[in-house]
Structure 1
């Protein structure tokens, strides 16, 4: 009986594949490789200058602020372990915003000091440069986990409903949306994929699924980045808190904390 071209399993032989060494897909352009001394000097100049803004992002909310090119932003874990989701826009043209996917391609899944945060197409410019991390020594752990990823998109209530079947308003997406709508007159469509600061994530070796671990950040830990253009910045103090609980499960209030933001500017 003919099988009409379909596979019936007869004569099946396991397929073999040639072995190749990993090849880095994207060679870093010169603009992705900063002069470390130049940025160390910029950091010193900003921190030796003026503290021009301080704000606290309360737990389970988001806030916005602005930066001028050359300003340094420090985000501090000010009470207890907490992760945050960062959005960036060009202050003069919010159509230009942070592009996590291209940042991931040009640098890595988890940003390290002297990596840059890139804008979307057709602009593709460095928006900010990561200059200090009190958790830099964490590195890559035994499960492949690391910090400050540009993998996860941001928690949102649409995916929560997909997982649980329940309606909810209480996510980084909804917090960021509320902040940009109320504080900047923008819209939900302006919120985009984020930089997940203080978050410990990776991919499982067996199923290659995105995983998270409780953040190792503790009170006093902080990161710093320098603006490479005039920026509008938004930060959500994630409702998942320290990310010790799987998305979709109830998150106790006591694992959520605020984040402190300080902006420093060089004296002219």
Structure 2
């Protein structure tokens, strides 16, 4: 973080340097339109095909075929969830929170897409409804559904607690869930667990220091985040041991609640929709593709 008292003198032209206008790194005006109206119209007559209850301080996997909808729902108390997504056919294609953040911003809502990692870089899912979209950004700069936090994990917990062992961090929860679903051993499953979408979590950066902060989530029972699967998905959701993350995470003391995941099959595919194609880059990186 920035030091409170810089070691170097302020240059005479500091105000001029700081006054230069910001430039958006990745303008998204030319990205394909998510066609929210067509996606939402496809919900008429849909059928619920699966329901998964995620216990407090634990995680569960679920599958969402391409063209289906999935809702993550607050059940009986304010609760944050950590979401991982993979291609159902290839665990090496997974959610890329960093590029999603670069394209859409630090916090996601309706119309934003969740993008997969390189070299695939294609939409995995589109957010079609967010009952917390009213929250916006508060006076502290906080907002919900962030792609800036990585996930609570036992390694950072051990580092900050001088060796304390805690096994129900979201990283561990997701690892166990993926191992259970795929049959992989825990050490084989762990490398596939990745940075998350922090569903319902309220976060931001402290002014002055830039430190990542969390505050009590505004989520209430009945609130949900709905996504449309652009490809066949395997998902894993952890009900964070921090509960609503109003005070701490990686904790057995915080009040925690379950989350429910519901998957719906529409009667017909959305008008004009096709599964997301892989990225069009030729992967040559400036070299011949054929071996010498």
TM-score after normalising by structure 1 = 0.90
| Stretch deviating more after TM superposition (186-195 or 152-161) | 186-195
Counterpart residue number, 2:20: 20
Q: What is the rounded CA distance, in whole Å, between the counterparts of 2:104 and 2:63 in structure 1?
A: 25
Choose the corresponding residue for 1:175, options 173, 176, 179: 173
Q: Would you say the 8 A contact 2:78–2:217 is kept in 1?
A: yes
Q: For 1:146-157, list aligned pairs within 5 A.
A: 146-157=143-154
Q: What is the rounded CA distance, in whole Å, between the counterparts of 1:33 and 1:105 in structure 2?
A: 18
Q: For 1:208-223, list aligned pairs within 5 A.
A: 208-223=210-225
> How much does 1:155 deviate?
0.2
> How much does 1:14 deviate?
3.0
Counterpart residue number, 1:252: 253
Q: Would you say the 8 A contact 1:32–1:106 is kept in 2?
A: no
Counterpart residue number, 1:243: 245
> How much does 1:167 deviate?
1.8
Q: What is the rounded CA distance, in whole Å, between the counterparts of 1:182 and 1:103 in structure 2?
A: 28
SS in 1 for 2:149: coil
Residue 263 in structure 1 maps to residue 259 in structure 2:
no
Is the alpha carbon distance of 1:134 and 1:151 closer, same or farther for their aligned partners in structure 2, counting shifts above 3 Å? same
Q: Would you say the 8 A contact 1:84–1:199 is kept in 2?
A: yes
Counterpart residue number, 1:106: 103
Q: Would you say the 8 A contact 1:60–1:256 is kept in 2?
A: yes
Residue 39 in structure 1 maps to residue 36 in structure 2:
no
Q: Deviations over 1:26-49 (max 9, x none)?
A: 11163354223222223x24xx22
> How much does 1:185 deviate?
2.3
Q: Would you say the 8 A contact 1:57–1:236 is kept in 2?
A: yes
Unaligned runs of at least 5 residues, structure 2:
1-6, 269-292
Q: What is the rounded CA distance, in whole Å, between the counterparts of 2:96 and 2:21 in structure 1?
A: 29
Q: What is the rounded CA distance, in whole Å, between the counterparts of 1:52 and 1:26 in structure 2?
A: 37
> How much does 1:57 deviate?
0.3
Q: What is the rounded CA distance, in whole Å, between the counterparts of 2:91 and 2:29 in structure 1?
A: 25
Q: What is the rounded CA distance, in whole Å, between the counterparts of 2:227 and 2:236 in structure 1?
A: 14
Residue 70 in structure 1 maps to residue 67 in structure 2:
yes
Q: Deviations over 1:228-252 (max 9, x none)?
A: 000001000011111012346x442
Choose the corresponding residue for 1:53, options 40, 46, 50: 50
> How much does 1:114 deviate?
0.5
Q: Deviations over 1:71-121 (max 9, x none)?
A: 100111001000000000011111100000000001010001000000000
Choose the corresponding residue for 1:116, options 101, 105, 113: 113
Q: Would you say the 8 A contact 1:242–1:256 is kept in 2?
A: yes
> How much does 1:195 deviate?
0.3
Counterpart residue number, 1:203: 205
Is the alpha carbon distance of 1:262 and 1:162 closer, same or farther for their aligned partners in structure 2, counting shifts above 3 Å? same
SS in 1 for 2:31: helix
TM-score after normalising by structure 2 = 0.83
Residue 184 in structure 1 maps to residue 185 in structure 2:
no
Q: Would you say the 8 A contact 2:78–2:218 is kept in 1?
A: yes
- How many matched pairs? 253
Q: What is the rounded CA distance, in whole Å, between the counterparts of 2:211 and 2:10 in structure 1?
A: 26
